[in-house]
Amino acid sequence: MVKASAPGKCILFGEHAVVYGQPAVACSINQRMVVELEEEKKFDSWRLDGAILNFSKHPHIDFLKDQLWPENVKPPLKIRIRGTVPAASGLGSSAALSVALVAALQQLRDEDIDAGIAGLLSHQAEAFAQGGRASPIDTATSASGGFVVLSDTVNETLDHIGERSLQYQDEITTWQLHSFIADIPDDTFLVIGNTGVHASTSKQVAKVASLLEKQPERHVEIEAIGSIARRGIEALRAGDMESVGKAMTENHIVLRSLGVSSPELEKLIKAAAPSSLGVKLTGSGGGGCMIALTKNPEQTVGAIEMEGGRAFISPFNSPGVRIETLSSQDSGPQ
Ligand code: MEV
């Protein structure tokens, strides 16, 4: 049996606009998805958590199976998925699952665990599952951990960790991936507030695509998010948390105008704003989570919870994909 895990992520700047090649920054969070794999000779098909795996319900697993196991005959596998990243909440649960699955499959095949390959294949799997449009922000952050910056050109002042391209219809988008050590002062915290409302990333991405198709002039909002993200990245690098917070709130206003916020998100954002340096939705929106940068984390958590949200303080810089050691419980009778 093998076991691998990968962290969820939260986007500080640039969601949606990054799909169109604008810059974005995300950081890994403490919550992880864990995948266990075991060859099971007595089965004749792959099983997920005890039931026959329905690949149409799990398109990214289907895609990764064929990429990592190109041979026609695949040994029957038992897959167990555990984890604490809430599903459909903007925290990258499906990217974390794909990244962890790639690492577990690599280990099962006795291949070296390669975070770059895990990031690359899981990005293709996300694009496949999202109907063709997906940036590599979620998968790259989950694979490498820490802070990840995507941009359209190589930024010489950051650590360049790779390049990803994706063709959608007749357009090819290329992203340069960078990692970077953000100097977050000890008195500044990230609070994540969950509305509890599930939202589909592919629907939210399609909603923005349809708006831009009907009103091409709205591309200025995509570019505005890009310039706010550039400013936010500079402020993060300079450790200027007031400016980071201000840019986050500006980013949220443009996302709201693109139609990807929701009444539930607005309620939590309004509650968190007075005790925070900046507030915004994170991920694809329409529900899911918001984030607050704050020097008063308990007060911010309390304000979000008073409005019915679930909130927690998230540490920065959780490690990326990794192989987990098996405990005696893992190998016990099932
Ligand atoms: C989802 O976490 C982030 C989006 O920008 C989609 C993507 O980048 O593929 C909304």
**Residue 40's CATH number:** 3.30.230.10
Name the residue type at position 87: A
Are 209 and 311 part of one and the same domain? yes
pLDDT digits (tens, 9 = 90+) for 246-293: 999 999 999 999 999 999 999 999 999 999 999 999 999 999 999 999
pLDDT digits (tens, 9 = 90+) for 204-259: 999 999 999 999 999 999 999 999 999 999 999 999 999 999 999 999 999 999 99
Are 224 and 244 part of one and the same domain? yes
Are 65 and 205 part of one and the same domain? no
How crowded is the C-beta side of 77, counted as CA atoms within 13 Å? 24
Rounded Cα distance between 305 and 321, Å, is 31
Are 136 and 5 part of one and the same domain? yes
Are 69 and 132 part of one and the same domain? yes
Domain count for the chain:
2
CA of 15 to the centre of ligand 1 (A): 5
Are 156 and 14 part of one and the same domain? yes
Q: Is 251 in the pocket of ligand 1 (CB under 6 A)?
A: no
* Residue bearing the CA closest to ligand 1, atom 10: 284
Among 2, 72, 6, CA closest to 319: 6
Are 151 and 34 part of one and the same domain? yes
Are 189 and 291 part of one and the same domain? yes
Are 72 and 171 part of one and the same domain? yes
Are 235 and 124 part of one and the same domain? no
Q: What tokens does 219 get? A: 């591309």
Rounded Cα distance between 60 and 128, Å, is 7
What CATH number is attached to the domain comprising 257? 3.30.70.890
Q: Is 19 in the pocket of ligand 1 (CB under 6 A)?
A: yes
pLDDT digits (tens, 9 = 90+) for 303-317: 999 999 999 999 988
**Annotated active-site positions, please?**
138
Whole-prediction pTM: 0.94
Mean pLDDT of the chain: 92
- What is the per-residue pLDDT for 265? 98
CB 293, CB 25: distance < 8 Å:
no
Task: Tell me the residue range of the domain where 298 lies.
Answer: 182-316
- What is the per-residue pLDDT for 334? 43
Residue 14 CA: nearest ligand 1 atom is: 5
